Copies of this chain bind each other. A is one copy, B any other.
Protein backbone atom coordinates (compact mmCIF):
# COMPACT_ATOMS: atom_id res chain seq x y z
CA UNK A 1 0.00 0.00 0.00
CA UNK A 2 1.59 3.23 -1.16
CA UNK A 3 -0.60 5.70 0.69
CA UNK A 4 -1.64 4.25 4.03
CA UNK A 5 -2.49 7.64 5.56
CA UNK A 6 -4.84 8.43 2.73
CA UNK A 7 -6.42 5.01 3.03
CA UNK A 8 -7.10 5.63 6.70
CA UNK A 9 -8.68 8.99 6.08
CA UNK A 10 -11.02 7.56 3.44
CA UNK A 11 -11.87 4.58 5.62
CA UNK A 12 -13.26 6.94 8.26
CA UNK A 13 -15.80 8.19 5.71
CA UNK A 14 -17.09 4.79 4.66
CA UNK A 15 -16.01 1.19 5.22
CA UNK A 16 -13.30 0.59 2.61
CA UNK A 17 -11.79 -2.89 2.13
CA UNK A 18 -8.02 -2.70 1.71
CA UNK A 19 -8.18 -4.76 -1.47
CA UNK A 20 -10.50 -2.19 -3.03
CA UNK A 21 -8.09 0.54 -2.06
CA UNK A 22 -5.31 -1.45 -3.68
CA UNK A 23 -7.26 -1.42 -6.96
CA UNK A 24 -7.63 2.35 -6.65
CA UNK A 25 -3.94 2.84 -6.07
CA UNK A 26 -3.27 0.75 -9.15
CA UNK A 27 -5.18 3.12 -11.45
CA UNK A 28 -4.02 6.35 -9.77
CA UNK A 29 -1.07 8.30 -11.09
CA UNK A 30 1.16 10.67 -9.19
CA UNK A 31 1.75 14.10 -10.64
CA UNK A 32 4.00 16.96 -9.62
CA UNK A 33 3.14 20.57 -10.29
CA UNK A 34 5.30 23.64 -10.15
CA UNK A 35 4.15 26.80 -8.43
CA UNK A 36 1.60 28.54 -10.69
CA UNK A 37 1.05 25.40 -12.76
CA UNK A 38 -2.57 24.46 -13.47
CA UNK A 39 -4.04 21.11 -12.55
CA UNK A 40 -7.14 22.01 -14.52
CA UNK A 41 -7.81 24.88 -16.86
CA UNK A 42 -11.16 26.40 -17.79
CA UNK A 43 -12.54 24.67 -20.84
CA UNK A 44 -10.90 21.34 -20.05
CA UNK A 45 -13.11 18.31 -19.71
CA UNK A 46 -13.79 17.67 -16.01
CA UNK A 47 -12.81 14.03 -16.31
CA UNK A 48 -10.23 13.72 -13.57
CA UNK A 49 -9.75 14.59 -9.95
CA UNK A 50 -6.97 14.22 -7.44
CA UNK A 51 -6.01 14.12 -3.81
CA UNK A 52 -3.42 16.63 -2.66
CA UNK A 53 -0.38 14.85 -1.24
CA UNK A 54 1.70 17.98 -0.80
CA UNK A 55 1.04 21.65 -1.53
CA UNK A 56 -1.82 24.13 -1.71
CA UNK A 57 -4.17 24.89 -4.58
CA UNK A 58 -6.81 27.47 -5.35
CA UNK A 59 -9.96 26.83 -7.36
CA UNK A 60 -10.58 30.01 -9.34
CA UNK A 61 -13.69 30.79 -11.24
CA UNK A 62 -13.15 33.30 -13.98
CA UNK A 63 -16.46 35.02 -14.54
CA UNK A 64 -17.70 36.15 -17.93
CA UNK A 65 -16.97 39.76 -16.86
CA UNK A 66 -13.34 38.91 -16.21
CA UNK A 67 -13.56 39.02 -12.42
CA UNK A 68 -11.77 36.24 -10.56
CA UNK A 69 -13.38 34.69 -7.53
CA UNK A 70 -12.04 31.85 -5.48
CA UNK A 71 -14.27 28.92 -4.69
CA UNK A 72 -11.90 27.09 -2.40
CA UNK A 73 -8.39 26.43 -1.28
CA UNK A 74 -7.24 22.85 -1.11
CA UNK A 75 -4.31 21.52 0.88
CA UNK A 76 -2.90 18.14 1.93
CA UNK A 77 -5.47 15.36 2.10
CA UNK A 78 -8.19 17.30 0.29
CA UNK A 79 -9.83 16.66 -3.05
CA UNK A 80 -8.99 18.58 -6.16
CA UNK A 81 -11.34 18.89 -9.10
CA UNK A 82 -14.15 20.71 -10.84
CA UNK A 83 -16.69 18.74 -8.88
CA UNK A 84 -19.87 20.56 -9.91
CA UNK A 85 -18.92 20.46 -13.57
CA UNK A 86 -18.02 16.78 -13.32
CA UNK A 87 -21.44 16.00 -11.90
CA UNK A 88 -23.12 17.95 -14.66
CA UNK A 89 -20.80 16.63 -17.36
CA UNK A 90 -19.87 20.14 -18.33
CA UNK A 91 -16.46 21.44 -19.32
CA UNK A 92 -14.66 22.99 -16.39
CA UNK A 93 -15.39 26.63 -15.64
CA UNK A 94 -12.76 26.54 -12.98
CA UNK A 95 -9.00 26.87 -13.00
CA UNK A 96 -7.17 24.87 -10.37
CA UNK A 97 -3.75 26.26 -9.71
CA UNK A 98 -0.87 25.18 -7.51
CA UNK A 99 0.23 27.96 -5.15
CA UNK A 100 3.34 26.03 -4.19
CA UNK A 101 5.36 23.26 -5.77
CA UNK A 102 2.88 20.43 -5.24
CA UNK A 103 2.33 16.76 -5.55
CA UNK A 104 -1.00 15.05 -6.18
CA UNK A 105 -2.54 11.64 -6.79
CA UNK A 106 -4.70 11.69 -9.90
CA UNK A 107 -7.73 9.58 -10.77
CA UNK A 108 -9.62 9.47 -14.05
CA UNK A 109 -13.35 9.63 -13.35
CA UNK A 110 -13.71 6.81 -15.85
CA UNK A 111 -11.44 4.58 -13.78
CA UNK A 112 -13.34 5.53 -10.69
CA UNK A 113 -16.63 4.55 -12.30
CA UNK A 114 -15.05 1.21 -13.07
CA UNK A 115 -14.24 0.79 -9.38
CA UNK A 116 -17.83 1.65 -8.50
CA UNK A 117 -19.07 -1.16 -10.67
CA UNK A 118 -16.81 -3.56 -8.76
CA UNK A 119 -17.86 -2.81 -5.20
CA UNK A 120 -20.56 -0.82 -3.39
CA UNK A 121 -18.06 0.78 -1.01
CA UNK A 122 -17.20 3.35 -3.68
CA UNK A 123 -20.79 4.38 -4.11
CA UNK A 124 -21.03 4.91 -0.38
CA UNK A 125 -17.79 6.85 -0.30
CA UNK A 126 -18.92 9.06 -3.17
CA UNK A 127 -22.11 9.73 -1.28
CA UNK A 128 -20.22 10.80 1.83
CA UNK A 129 -18.01 13.06 -0.22
CA UNK A 130 -21.00 14.69 -1.86
CA UNK A 131 -22.67 15.15 1.51
CA UNK A 132 -19.61 16.70 3.06
CA UNK A 133 -19.14 19.09 0.18
CA UNK A 134 -22.76 20.05 0.53
CA UNK A 135 -22.37 20.83 4.21
CA UNK A 136 -19.36 23.03 3.49
CA UNK A 137 -21.15 24.97 0.77
CA UNK A 138 -24.16 25.48 2.94
CA UNK A 139 -21.95 26.83 5.69
CA UNK A 140 -20.47 29.28 3.21
CA UNK A 141 -23.96 30.28 2.08
CA UNK A 142 -24.86 31.10 5.68
CA UNK A 143 -21.79 33.22 5.99
CA UNK A 144 -22.71 35.30 2.96
CA UNK A 145 -26.26 35.68 4.20
CA UNK A 146 -25.49 36.64 7.78
CA UNK A 147 -21.97 37.93 8.17
CA UNK A 148 -20.06 41.07 7.22
CA UNK A 149 -16.80 40.79 5.32
CA UNK A 150 -14.91 41.30 8.56
CA UNK A 151 -16.74 38.48 10.32
CA UNK A 152 -16.17 36.21 7.34
CA UNK A 153 -12.46 37.00 7.52
CA UNK A 154 -12.25 36.04 11.17
CA UNK A 155 -14.10 32.80 10.54
CA UNK A 156 -11.90 32.05 7.57
CA UNK A 157 -8.74 32.08 9.65
CA UNK A 158 -10.41 30.12 12.43
CA UNK A 159 -11.35 27.42 9.97
CA UNK A 160 -8.19 27.41 7.88
CA UNK A 161 -5.28 28.11 10.21
CA UNK A 162 -3.07 25.76 8.19
CA UNK A 163 -3.21 28.17 5.23
CA UNK A 164 -1.56 30.96 7.20
CA UNK A 165 1.43 32.24 5.29
CA UNK A 166 0.75 30.07 2.25
CA UNK A 167 -1.79 32.20 0.39
CA UNK A 168 -1.79 35.85 -0.67
CA UNK A 169 -4.02 38.55 0.72
CA UNK A 170 -5.41 39.06 -2.75
CA UNK A 171 -6.60 35.46 -2.81
CA UNK A 172 -8.15 35.61 0.63
CA UNK A 173 -10.07 38.67 -0.54
CA UNK A 174 -11.23 36.89 -3.69
CA UNK A 175 -12.43 34.03 -1.50
CA UNK A 176 -14.35 36.34 0.80
CA UNK A 177 -15.97 38.11 -2.14
CA UNK A 178 -14.31 41.48 -1.57
CA UNK A 179 -11.35 43.32 -3.08
CA UNK A 180 -7.77 43.31 -1.94
CA UNK A 181 -8.22 46.97 -0.97
CA UNK A 182 -11.21 46.34 1.23
CA UNK A 183 -9.43 43.47 2.95
CA UNK A 184 -6.44 45.66 3.69
CA UNK A 185 -8.75 48.30 5.19
CA UNK A 186 -10.52 45.76 7.34
CA UNK A 187 -7.23 44.48 8.67
CA UNK A 188 -5.91 47.93 9.54
CA UNK A 189 -9.23 48.77 11.22
CA UNK A 190 -8.87 45.66 13.39
CA UNK A 191 -5.25 46.45 14.17
CA UNK A 192 -6.24 49.91 15.41
CA UNK A 193 -9.18 48.62 17.39
CA UNK A 194 -6.80 46.25 19.19
CA UNK A 195 -4.56 49.25 19.96
Q: Which A residues have a C-beta under 8 Å from some C-beta of B?
A: 61, 63, 65, 67, 69, 71, 83-84, 87-88, 120, 123-124, 126-127, 130-135, 137-142, 144-146, 177
Contact = CB atoms under 8 A, between A and B. Distances in A.
Contacts of A120: 120, 123
Work out how many copies of this chain go into the complex: 2
Contacts of A133: 134
A190 B1 CA distance: 62
**Chain A interface main SS type:** helix
A63 B145 CA distance: 10
A83 B65 CA distance: 34
21 contacts: A63-B146, A67-B146, A69-B145, A71-B141, A71-B142, A83-B134, A84-B134, A84-B135, A87-B134, A88-B135, A120-B123, A123-B123, A127-B130, A130-B130, A130-B131, A134-B137, A137-B137, A137-B138, A137-B140, A137-B141, A141-B144
Which of A120, A139, A144 gathers the greatest number of chain B CB atoms within 10 Å? A144
A71 B123 contact: no
